[in-house]
Structure formats: C-alpha cells, structure tokens
Structure 1
Amino acid sequence: MSTRHLQLCGYAVLLGMGLAAFSPAQAATSAANDPYGDWTGTLVADKGLDCPTEGLSYMQIQPTRMIFVPQMGNLVLHGVPNKERQHYHAQLILTDARKQPLPIVFEAHPIDDTFEGIYGTPTCRAHIILRRPENHPLDNFLNRN
C-alpha cells in the first residue's frame, strides 16, 4: 500500500471516531410508553429466607403476554400485560407436597425508564428494579451472552 493510501485510511478512521463522539446519546425510553421487550434485575429479599436473590431475574413483555423468570431458573410466571392501566401481573400456581396450592406472584409498574416489582410466595417477599439489558453487540456476536 502506498503512504498516501495509508494516510487516507487513517483520516477516515479518525473522522469516524470523531463523528461517533459527537453523535447524541440515545435517550432512555419511558417504560410506561414503551414497556415491550426484555427487562432484567436482581431480587432483594424483604421478608423470608428462601427468596431467589442470588442471580439475575428476567421479565419479557409483549403486547399480548408477559413472563417473569426469577433468578433465571426453572420457574416461569405467565401473565397478560395491560399497558393502558399500567398493570403487569404474572403468576404460577404449583402444588406442594401436601397437594395444596403454592402461588407465586409478580406485580410490576413502570417508573421512569425502569420497572419496580414485587415478587411473592407464601415464604418470600422481595422487591426488584428491572432495567433494559445493556446492548453488547460483540458479546452477542461471540455468543458470550
């Protein structure tokens, strides 16, 4: 390659970096206006000893359905979102060893660009703040997500 060609490539790279530096940051979207998509956060126990607080929890909202997965485990709570009323409720009812119902519930509402939620079982009450996950295209490309 000629020296002139390398200089032009260098200028192009610097110009691209400069344009990226001066482009406006993407504004956070209000959770009330755009609740659809993926949300993550970590539960914090308020009451009880066996709350799933060790790992990341996940909520996905679509126009006709929603799910909440505490601690990214095997339990998946299902619900139907109501964007107009800002009502986001998901539940799962299991049966315990004595054949009694074991309800697991999750309620959330939007606050600015996050969701605040309450998770509850007969032996646990926890709260959570859910945020949209960070976008890491390189991690996605390398399958490290």
Structure 2
Amino acid sequence: MTNRPAYRVARRALVLLPLLAAASLAGCGGGSGPPDPVGEWTGTLVTDKGTCPDQLPSRLLVGSRNISFIPSGGVLVLHGTLKPAPATLHAQLMLSDMNHKPLPMVFEGTQAADGSRIDGTYGTPSCRAHILMVRPVEHPFERVLGH
C-alpha cells in the first residue's frame, strides 16, 4: 500500500527542484562584463585642436549592433557599428567640401569598465575634440511638456 501524503511531498519536491536550481543559477553568469551600452548618451565636445562644434551637447544613440553620433545637436549623423566586450564604438560620415575634396568626420569611443560613461574622440580635417558621454537624466514630466 502506498503512503499518499509522502508520495505527494516527494512529487512536489521533484517539480520544484528544477525551478529552485534555475533561480539560484540565474545570477551566476551575468556579472562578468560592463553593463550594456545600448541606449542614449549625451556630452559636449571639448576642442583639442582647430575649430570644432563645441557649443551644444552631442548625442550618441547605441543599438544592439549600430550606432549614430550627432555632433553638437546638428543635422549631420555619423553612422557606425558597435563591437562588444569591451564596447568599442566607431561612426563616420564622408562628405565633400566646396572644392570637392573628401571631408571625413569620425567618432571613436570606448565604454568605461563600470559602464558609467563613454570616452570618445571626434575628428574632421579642421577639428580634433574629445568628449565624455553619460546617460541623460530622465524627466518624464518634461517630455509631456515637449521640452
């Protein structure tokens, strides 16, 4: 004759065991690298040499594979790729000046080990600048008002 209460307890333990093991292992693999850089970053260019657009904040938009860098709140967008671990970012835009000579614009950046910032450089033939980018502070009420 089977002892029904003991059978039920054993059955529940067998059902819960895989769930408990999965929950205990959930935090084991994720803490090795910096946080994901995906999202929006802002900062202001600081001119090192030449004449740079350093009056307004610049934006960096990071997707899972692609990035877009918008210098000084302008209309030009440099496009590029994200290379993982550690996050290395490269974006560029190739234009022509009024004399039909190449006018390259390049952004290079790396994410800090703690994931708190992206340190970058921006360059054109007439500009060399560095930039420290951080995630913008969210103000949901300002978004409602359109600011």
Deviations 1:83-134 (A, max 9, x none): 2352200000001122111100000001130000000001110000000000
TM-score by length of 2: 0.73
Aligned with residue 46 of structure 1, among 45, 48, 52? 48
Matching residue of 2:138: 135
**Quick one: distance in 2 between partners of 1:104 and 1:38?**
20
Distance 1:89 1:32, change over 3 A: farther
Q: Name segments (4+ residues, structure 1) moved above 2 Å.
A: none
Matching residue of 2:57: 56
**Quick one: distance in 2 between partners of 1:82 and 1:64?**
8
- Larger of the two Rg values belongs to structure: 2
**Quick one: distance in 1 between partners of 2:38 and 2:62?**
5
Q: What runs of 5+ residues in structure 2 fail to find an aligned partner?
A: 1-32
RMSD: 1.4
TM-score by length of 1: 0.74
Q: Which sits farther off after the overlay, 32-41 or 80-89?
A: 80-89
**Quick one: distance in 1 between partners of 2:144 and 2:84?**
33
1:33 is displaced (CA, Å) by 2.2
Q: Which sits farther off after the overlay, 50-59 or 84-93?
A: 84-93
Matching residue of 2:70: 69
Matching residue of 2:83: 82
Q: What runs of 5+ residues in structure 1 fail to find an aligned partner?
A: 1-30
**Quick one: distance in 2 between partners of 1:81 and 1:88?**
5
Give the total of aligned pairs.
Answer: 113
The one-letter code matched in structure 1 to 2:38 is Y
